[in-house]
Copies of this chain bind each other. A is one copy, B any other.
Amino acid sequence: MAADKQTLLDYYRKMVLIRRFEETMEEHAKKGYIPGFLHLGIGQEAAQVGTMATFAPGDYVLPDHRSHGVCLMVGTPTREVMAEIFGKKTGTNGGRGGSMHVADFKRGNVGNNAIQGSTMATACGLALAAQVKKTKAVTFNFIGDGTVGRGEFHESLNLAGIWKLPIVYVLVNNGYAISTRATDAHPLADLAKMGCAYNVPGITVDGNDVEAVHAAAKEATDRARRGEGATIIELKTYRWQGHFSGDPASYRPEEEVKTWKEKCPIRRLRDTLLQRKLADMAALKAIENDVEREIQDALKFSIDSPAPTIEDALTFVYVGREVTGK
């Protein structure tokens, strides 16, 4: 069933938002505004948007380190995500987390943990809580192809398998873990098939086709919501930039990058919209302009916002126990 016009236009807006968000981050990282590591999701917008389209209030998501886009999808204002990446007090984490730890608990974003695979253990607990509290909450656990190597992948899937945990494992297979090819790191080409060891179904789809991504995510989410347990959805895609902003990524052939850029998920959706006559160029341009205003607003907000202060370094270490400063 093809998605309707409104849905597709909504996807379009979101994908453009993520793209522009990431481009803006990259630009400002180069200019020296953004401290630390910046892992960009350019090229992976369909995977992020299509999956998160099935996220409902009350659900939980554990984004990964390449998931600014996912953080935007739970409804956190773009300003707050961006300000966090700038390390500002107005960010989701008050500037304490940065790019790798953006969290917004009240909207279900439980935050990333920069130890790859660690969130897979956490996911079990979010899903367990849903069972204990008898809610219908589904947990979305984003991981990359590289992260599949970690022991927690196994411990989490095994537990999800026996306890029928309501988890959607969103396995974004962009072909690389830093320089290591997925095909050099794992014996199977389709990583979703690894669910076979746990009686957890796996679906592999073209991660640049937002409709296909959404269909797979919906199947998985519905299954989880019905209490039938976890699913792995593997989204085959590509990251256009290096591993982090600044990585020249000389470990991969230029030809490969070029091929994948031709498969741009945003261009693809635009073509679909135009072909199906659901929008004309003017309508799309209007969306893009609207996104641009949002980005520029967030950027100004992020640049203008104050940094945390040294007092902030001493709060929230413990609940109810003070820590002394200098």
Contact = CB atoms under 8 A, between A and B. Distances in A.
Chain A contact surface mostly: helix
Interface string A195-222: 1111110000000000000000000000
A158 interface: yes
Contact of A161 (B150, B152, B186): B186
A20 interface: no
Interface in A143-201: 148-155, 158, 161-162, 184-188, 193-200
Contacts of A187: 158, 161-162, 198-200
Interface in A115-161: 148-155, 158, 161
B162 A185 contact: yes
A188 B199 contact: yes
B155 A151 contact: yes
A130 to B, nearest CB: 19
Contact of A150 (B151, B162, B196, B197): B151
Contacts of A158: 148-149, 185-187
Contacts of A194: 197
Nearest to A153: B154
A320 to B, nearest CB: 34
A313 B198 CA distance: 45
Contact of A196 (B162, B184, B197): B197
A122 B154 CA distance: 18
Contacts of A155: 149-151, 154
Interface centre among A149, A152, A158, by most B CB within 10 Å? A158
Contacts of A197: 188, 193-197
A251 to B, nearest CB: 17
A203 to B, nearest CB: 16
A188 B148 CA distance: 20
Interface of A: 148-155, 158, 161-162, 184-188, 193-200
26 contacts: A148-B158, A149-B155, A150-B151, A150-B154, A150-B155, A151-B152, A151-B155, A153-B154, A154-B154, A154-B155, A158-B185, A158-B187, A161-B186, A161-B187, A162-B184, A162-B185, A162-B186, A186-B198, A187-B198, A187-B199, A187-B200, A188-B198, A188-B199, A194-B197, A195-B197, A196-B196
